[in-house]
Amino acid sequence: MNKSESLIKSVVYRFFGTVGTFFIALLLTGETSVAGGIAVMEIVFKTTMYYAYERLWEKVGRKNKQ
């Protein structure tokens, strides 16, 4: 998987996760603005983390193939 595929996969995966996070936060807080803030912070942080994970996984996989 190349870098752009990893990025696209990360963004799509996080979109679905963030929708879930928004509804959980909305259920717990009852406030759409708070739930939205949590969802925005979550998507930025977790997309970055997932992309880094994918790139690290790719490097580890290459080392194991050699």
- For the record, the structure tokens of 65 come out as 């193939």
Residue ranges making up the domain that contains 30: 3-61
Return the sign of the alpha-carbon dihedral for residues 7, 32, 20, 25: positive
Would the pLDDT of 18 be above 80? yes
Angstrom distance (rounded) from CA 52 to CA 49: 5
Amino acid identity of residue 56, one-letter, is L
Residue 66 lies in a domain: no
What's the CA gap between 8 and 11, in Å, rounded? 5
pLDDT-derived band at 59 (thresholds 50, 70, 90) equals: confident
Is residue 11 in a domain? yes
Rounded Cα–Cα distance for residues 36 and 57 (Å):
31
Q: How confident is the model at residue 65 (pLDDT cuts 50, 70, 90)?
A: low
pLDDT(66) > 90:
no
Give the pLDDT confidence score for residue 47 in this predicted structure. 80
Domain count, the chain: 1
Q: What is the pTM of this model?
A: 0.65
Predicted confidence (pLDDT) at residue 50 exceeds the cutoff of 70:
yes
